[in-house]
Structure 1
Amino acid sequence: MNDLSPASSPAGGIRAGASTLLEQAQTLGAIRVAVVHPCDETSLGAVLEARAAGLVDPLLVAPRERIEAVARQAGFDLDGIAIEHVPHSHAAAERAAALAASGRVEALMKGSLHTDELMSAVLAREAGLRTARRVSHCYLMQTPAYPRPFIITDAAINIAPTLEEKADIVCNAIDLARIIGVDTPRVAILAAVETVNPRMQATLDAAALCKMADRRQIEGGVLDGPLAFDNAVSADAARIKGISSEVAGRADVLVVPDLESGNMLAKQLEYLGGAASAGIVMGARVPVILTSRADPGETRVASCAVAVLVANRYRAVKP
């Protein structure tokens, strides 16, 4: 697996330097994180690894007996780690959201419960974690075939987003890109083709999003679309098709038409393209570390590093 080191490129991209994403986060110190129901060896082990790396000060929100049983079976040492006892996963999600709303933790981390269960608690109006924006998930990825890390969004939360929801998805991704060092992120709005086709809703949405950016309804990045995937990441493909664009061939953000296409794209890059990844939910009052149960430990730790960067920005600028 490649790492998520910042790439140095005269064309832009993630902030240049020798430090890895992990090292950048470590300089900021650990953040207090409520870990929601980490009741299997994989999720609990990732928490301990992130703690050992100096990224998180975890508060485990789960049934105490189950956590301690998992730790015994895996040989984990929970000495010095706080446990907030709750009876089950649903209660864990609700309690963790309340802890975040009260300011006792700066981030939430998914354990062994389902994504829907956690996000339902985060998005409940009474939880107090919603902002004016719709929440969305960002994959920060680095693959050997591309010269800089990039973001794929949304591949985990919004199933078939409307134009209005896509605008929030774009804004969330721009915020994350700026937090990790891209001053003016280049945002490619993906579709199957690079021309507007009235029969393909993704191309109409892409054109509308770009016009919204022209009218300053979306700020902080440079948008172009519709762009097919090859045009977004390959300057040669863009040139062959006669596309002149600040974004084509060097995108920092890839905005997919829907969750299915985004999820398949991200997992293809990870499993067949040797990509490293980290996952974070943006748009709530705290970052939510959202990883798959199949993700390796390094992905979970990298996601914690991203959360540290986001939480530190939120200290200065409240979302």
Structure 2
Amino acid sequence: MARNKTYDEISVGDSATLTRTLTANDLFVFAHASGNVNPMHLPNVDWTGDGKVDEPIAPSMWAGALISAVLGNVLPGPGTVYRSQTLSFRDRARIGDRLEVSAKVTAKKSDGIVELTTRVKREDDTVIAEGDAVVTAPERTITFDASSLPGILIESHQHFDRLLEAAETLPPLPTAVVAPDDPNSLGGTALAARDGLIEPVLVGSRSRIEATAARIGLDLSPFELIDVDPEDAAAARAVALVHEGRVRAVMKGHLHTDDLLRHIVKRDGGLRTKRRLSHCFVMDVPGRASPVIISDAAINISPDLQAKVDIVQNAIDVARSLGIATPKVGILSAIETVNPAIPSTLDAAVLSKMAERGQIKGGIVDGPLAMDNAIDVQAAKSKGITSLVAGHADALVVPNLEAGNMLAKELTFIAHAEAAGLVAGAKVPVMLTSRADNDRARLCSCVLALLYDHWQKTGEPLVHQNEEDKP
């Protein structure tokens, strides 16, 4: 609750200070609000043209605008009207800088006029901006509760951007792409190859692939193309390429999931292991500090308890490959208490105990948890839930495919999350993209496969989500 100082309450020498740490989202918001889209002020942009992402600097007026927060919120506070402001810019602010913003009263004039010196500086006392402000101070006491201010959603996907940057340091992953004969699948394949993520072997109808390449203006000469038709035979040939040692991953193109999985899970000549296959959606949700994994929303329709054990273990492994040292897994249900009338709550309780006793390894598992208290700390506290997972879940294991599919699509189309998918539990990573996925979704799925392959080979993630996750 902010309370102002009226003109009569203000004395010469009064001062106020606020602190603010510059974030990437601050730069996005300022660009939208001001219309200033100078690339040197935007994150994840190569504005010098040297092929590398450049560190952005904050617009000088962003730093200057912080002064209005002190004047409008504290001194004089709510009801203050700006008359004039001079500013000299001494240095530049960068992401992560913690800034101290101050104002000090130097004079009181007639008609409610107050003069103040203003300054913005870093913690090391480097001055970013300074100048003098003239305001009309409020005549009466005003209080204001800023908690009613609507929030802002920044539709940025920094987690995938960071993972992509890391994955590009690895050698490309030899990948059999099955039936890439539509613009989305072929374009996504070419984009991933151009970014050095995969070394594609195109397996499918040569005539259809070449016709699609002509439609989108793609040169196929850099890629190996194995002419196999129909799609079922192409899927079988892609699996055979794994056994021949020619590829280390499989990517779905423009064919039905069942047609590909049939050859991956077959007992003779497939890619099965002792563990059941399951799909993991990795969701880059704007505003969340780390990605969220949802499993299983694409393969196991109504998994029993034993299937869920493998689903949980696969989700943990994928999370670890993304740099989450000890993933926290929430087993979802409609409620957060065990109820024999709701079978998913019984499964959740058993899975939690199995993880506690080491039958599921590498993560912390708890459930049943409802969606709200799995991801929101306050929701968990309000229900009195004491858990290392509640409010902090990195992975969400759903009761069945329908629930997972709806959750993933709700996050995509309502929360504006970006999604990528990976099948774990097979001998090699499998990218089970949707036929409707765009190039970016396919690119991010290749990132997941490359990082997962690296983790499987080395036992160490290439990236770490947080500093505390580093060994």
Scaled to the shorter chain, the TM-score interval is over 0.9
Higher relative contact order (CA 8 A, sep 6+): 1
Q: Which residue does the alignment assign to 2:338? A: 196
User: What does residue 381 of structure 2 align with?
Assistant: 239
Question: Please, which of 269, 287, 295 is the counterpart of residue 127 of structure 1?
Answer: 269
Deviation at 1:220? 0.6
Structure-to-structure mapping, 1:1-319, within 5 angstroms: 1-5=155-159, 20-316=162-458
Q: Could you give the per-residue CA deviations for residues 41-97 of structure 1, whole angstroms, max 9, x where no partner exists?
A: 111000001111110110000011111111112211111210011121000100001
User: Residue 178 of structure 1 aligns to which amino acid in structure 2?
Assistant: R
CA distance in 2, matches of 1:99, 1:315: 19
Distance 2:367 2:437 in 1: 31
- What do residues 134-185 of structure 1 show as CA deviations (whole Å, max 9, x unaligned)? 0000011111242211100000000000000000000001111111101100
Rounded to whole Å, the distance in 2 between the matches of 1:201 and 1:252 is 23
User: Any conservation in 2 of the 1:110–1:289 contact (CA below 8 Å)?
Assistant: yes
Alpha-carbon distance in 2 for matches of 1:102, 1:146: 42
Larger Rg: 2
Give the deviation of 1:4 after TM superposition.
4.9
1:4/1:277 contact within 8 Å kept = no
Q: CA RMSD in A?
A: 1.2
Contact 1:62 1:88 in 2 (8 A): yes
Alpha-carbon distance in 2 for matches of 1:4, 1:121: 35
Residue 157 of structure 2 aligns with an amino acid whose one-letter code is D
Which residue pairs with 2:128 in the alignment?
A: none
Identity among equivalent positions (%) equals 52
* Residues in 2 aligned to 1:135 and 1:249: alpha-carbon distance in whole angstroms: 28
- Gapped regions of structure 2 (runs ≥ 5): 1-154, 460-471
Counterpart secondary structure, 2:159: coil
Q: Deviations over 1:120-143 (max 9, x none)?
A: 110111124111100000011111
The amino acid of 1:71's aligned partner reads A
Give the SS at the match of 2:254.
Answer: coil
Q: TM-score, normalised by structure 2?
A: 0.64
Cα distance in 2 between the residues matched to 1:190 and 1:252: 12
The 8 Å contact of residues 4 and 149 in structure 1, kept in 2 or not, is answered as no
- Counterpart position of 1:12: none
1:2–1:274: 8 Å Cα contact kept in structure 2? no
Q: Distance in 1 between matches of 2:437 and 2:414?
A: 14
Counterpart secondary structure, 2:219: coil
Tell me the number of residue pairs that the alignment of Structure 1 and Structure 2 aligns: 305
Segments of 5+ residues of structure 1 without an aligned counterpart are: 7-18
Q: Indicate how the Cα distance of structure 1 residues 248 and 5 shifts in structure 2: closer, same or farther if over 3 A, else same.
A: same
Counterpart-to-counterpart distance in 2, 1:91 and 1:2: 40
Q: Tell me how far apart the structure 1 counterparts of residues 452 and 237 of structure 2 sit (CA, whole Å).
A: 22
The one-letter code sitting in structure 2 at the alignment partner of 1:3 is: H
Q: Distance in 2 between matches of 1:145 and 1:46?
A: 26
Structure richer in helix, relative to its length: 1
Q: Tell me the SS of whatever aligns to 1:198.
A: coil
Give the 3-state SS of the residue equivalent to 1:152 in structure 2. strand
Q: Shift in Å at residue 203 of structure 1?
A: 0.2
For 1:143 and 1:73, how far apart are their aligned partners in 2?
33
Assess if the C-alpha contact under 8 Å between 1:140 and 1:149 holds in 2.
yes
Q: Matched residue of 1:29: which SS?
A: coil
- Following the alignment from structure 1 to structure 2, what is the Cα–Cα distance between the partners of residues 231 and 107? 36
Kindly indicate whether the alpha-carbon contact (under 8 Å) linking 2:295 and 2:398 is maintained by their aligned counterparts in 1: yes
